[in-house]
Chains A and B, each alone.
Chain A
Amino acid sequence: MPYLAPANPEIQRPVSTTLIVLSVLLALFLNGLPWEGVWLMLRPDFVAVVMLYWCTHRPLRVGIGLSWAVGILADVADASLFGQHALAYTLLAFGGVALHHRLKMFDLRQQTTQVFGILALTYAVYALVHWQVNGYMVWPYFLGCLTSTLLWAPLSIMFQAARRMRVDRE
């Protein structure tokens, strides 16, 4: 691979497959915790944020196909229609892959605004499918989009710390 001089050297650190798989499983677990009422509305979509992180930082390893598969698992977990999460996560992954060069140039604050756009699209697609099939909308659902965006910065810092630890050990 022709290595361009990376703007942010952190990004080119190696990532183990275990970390990716574990983070996705952990995200599914966090989504599955017994959230109720207001907390359910405010719950960030952990799976979406984690998938977006890997799509922007490892676009060659985690791409649209894998996001789609994770979406199908999320559909089974949430008992939503088959393909509802999958469709949303496909678009999410495409957004991530398409914007990954740009995100590398940005700092966390600028990244967050970009990420908000992608997540808003994901949430809108999910809600749109629901609206088409069932004919009504629950507006507080979009609060989750804001909390998911707020999750981006802490998650990025955490993952980078995890990768740095691994590099230090080696």
Chain B
Amino acid sequence: MRFVAVAFAALMLAVPAALASNQHPSQSELEAVLVCPECHLPLDESSSPIAQQMKAFIRRRIAEGATGTQIKNELVAQLGPAVLGVPGKHGFDLLAWLMPLAGIGVGGVLIGVGAWTWTRRSSDEASEEAESADSGLDPEQNRRVDEELARFDA
């Protein structure tokens, strides 16, 4: 319960902080998330001519009071989605989005199957052990007695 309260309080603090950061973005914040479309490096690690132009553009737009989202959208409109550094949502690039989801799905199924097999095996072993405990014999002796009895039945 205490954990939930702490998590909720952290969320309540984080949301306004994120909103404020989008409202008044800093140069370094945007340079860290945007990518140079020529060299594909984060803007803050690139000194290519287009990266310099983008940095100057960001500086000017921040001074003009633009939000982080506005600046990103304007750069995408002029230079394409490559500046966001995320894979495309069609063709081969779509795999980059689908594979993690498929991985999570397959992983979930494997964990489920594993857990089911493990619990089943455990309960089988437990009932076997209980059976042995009831007769006061170990499993090997139990097996031999069963065999002998089966011979008499035949």
**Do A and B assemble together?**
no
Give the interface of B toward A (CB within 8 A): none
Give the interface of A toward B (CB within 8 A): none
